[in-house]
Amino acid sequence: MAGFEATFSGRQAPALATTYEGGDPALLQRLVQLVDLIEIAPDTIVSSERGQYILRPEVLDEYASMVPKVGLIAHGIGLSIGSFDHWNHDYLRLLDELFARFDLKWHSEHLACTVVAGESIGTMFSMPRTQEALDLVCKRVDLIQKLYPIPFLLEHVIQLLPDAPAEYTPAGFLNAITSRTGCGLVLDAYNLECDAHNQGLDIAAFLDELDLTPVVEMHLAGGVEFEGFQLDVHSGLTRETTLTLARDIVKRAPNLRAVTFEFLKEAVGLLGHDAICGELARIQQTVLRQAVLQ
Amino acid sequence: MTPLELQQRGLLDLIKCRGTPPNDPYLQRVEGSRELAMMRKIAVWWRTFQIESQCRLTSRLLKRLGCFEALVADYFNKNVTSPFIEELSRGFLRSLRLHDDPLVRAVSQLEYAALNAQAGLPEASEILWDRHPDVACLAIENGGELPAPEPDCLYRVRFSGQQPFTLTCTCESTVLASGPGVPSR
């Protein structure tokens, strides 16, 4: 089993990471100069060939061209680890393909449900924080850790719908998963801000309660406020408040290994290459540098 | 049914506008919430965005006709949609094969055949056009004026469905075929 503790123990300067979904060699050339890790979202580089879903070979070749200059990590969207019936086997086939081609540092997935009874819901449902959901998720985390010999991390997603009746607090639920399975966590600073805005989450209390030892990766992103909701659409630059929160997390998470700036491929045209690269430099300077100085 | 299954199935029905939830206080609270309305918007917005990127001509035509978003929402609500963009797009295009507007039918089935060919799926097809396909597609692409139907012509576009994929187009006159006692198109 590839628990996070076997691989990550003790404080060291986190790496800088970002997303790249292929098809933009000019951007890639600049990213490689700035980051240590590239995050691959397998679901976003899929094409179908004769009825089978495969990872687009031309994008895989782009990733291959970056190694070993940068390391690779995977971050899934569609595993649907929290579906009541079964997870998405198609996603695992994509992961198998990725593992067959690359040595990844770790892989991660959202603590969520994206498929119900075989039907895609088009978005993500967060998990109800109940014993039943906890047992189901832990069983699947155990299985995925047996299937793939590298650390597996879970990321909390934003809670958009009204909170369901719960037996655990938000932090308590994550603590229960990590303590039972030994998996790591992706802590998304912007998601916490969305939950604070939309659901009144007390971020300080959440972080006080959360066991930060399993936090291996932190996500940073920018989104939009729309009709009174803060949405995690990864379409913008990071807000100053998010960076402040990120600095606090960097100080407190002893096994943090990467800080990842996430942006959608679709937002590249809007943001521009200069702004994306400028943002990475800003994160390097204002968040990661602090970790080095500790 | 376990509580988790009940909740996830209930939320799926709610997000897909499939009626009121069973007698569950939580689902009933969600049903009337502004949060659910926002989640529906997000789900449909993503599908709209994805379909637009894959089905360029069809989405442009439907937008011009003012029904694109409504058709995507309707497709999302009434069908088991794929999380994979290409399958989602093919499903949406397939759903338009019986659309009332012959131009929507023709354009969507042309793109459907093109996506199948791109994915290496062998499916022969024949698409009937009531106006010149090239002229119509160019007008959709450029935002120009759509050509009017040509009552005397029937354009027959055929996809081979076998590699190498080929596309042929023939134009048939319907004037002779529509004489007394002979039904026209």
Q: What are the chain B neighbours of A47 within 8 Å (beta carbons)? A: 86, 119
Q: Which of A84, A126, A159 has the highest number of chain B CBs within 10 A, making it the mutation to test binding with B?
A: A84
What confidence tier does B184 reach under pLDDT thresholds 50, 70, 90?
very low
Residues B89-122 pLDDT 10s: 999 999 999 999 999 999 999 999 999 888 888 7
- Of the pLDDT bands very low, low, confident and very high (cuts 50, 70, 90), residue B182 is very low
* Residue partners of A78: CB distance under 8 A and separation at least 6: A43, A88, A90, A91, A114, A115, B83
The pLDDT value recorded for residue B180 is 45
Q: What is the ipTM of this complex?
A: 0.92
- Is B120–A162 a contact, with Cβ atoms under 8 angstroms apart? no
Q: Is A227 on the interface with B (CB under 8 A)?
A: yes
Note down the domain range covering A161: 4-293
Best probe of the B interface among A120, A138, A139, by most B CBs < 10 A, is A120
Q: Chain A residues with CB inside 8 Å of B120's CB?
A: 49-50
- What is the interface size between A and B, counted as CB pairs within 8 Å? 105
Mean pLDDT of chain B: 90
Please answer yes or no on whether A114 and B83 come within 8 Å at the CB atom. yes
- pLDDT value of position B173: 85
Closest by alpha carbon to A169, among B15, A177, A234, A71?
A: A177
Q: Which of B39, B41, B38, B47 is nearest to B68 (CA)?
A: B47
And the tokens for B8?
């996830």
**pLDDT tens string A152-176:** 999 999 999 999 999 999 999 999 9
Instruction: Please give the pLDDT value at position B62.
Output: 98
pLDDT classification of B124: cutoffs 50, 70, 90: confident
| Mean pLDDT value of segment B35-55 | 94
Average pLDDT over residues A67-90: 95
**Banded model confidence at residue A212, pLDDT cuts 50, 70, 90:** very high
Output the domain CATH number for residue A280. 3.20.20.150
pLDDT tens-place string over residues A6-55: 777 777 889 999 999 999 999 999 999 999 999 999 999 998 777 788 99
From the number of C-beta atoms within 10 Å of its C-beta (0-12, 13-18, 19+), residue A181 rates as buried
Q: What is the mean pLDDT of chain A?
A: 94
**Residue A68, preceding peptide bond in cis (omega within 30° of 0):** yes
Q: Which of residues 2-31 of A touch B (CB under 8 A)?
A: none
Give the count of domains, chain A: 1
Range of weakest confidence among A106-110, A262-266, B157-161, B178-182: B178-182
pLDDT band with cut points at 50, 70 and 90 for residue B177: low
Could you give the CA distance from residue A157 to residue A80 in angstroms, rounded to a whole number? 12
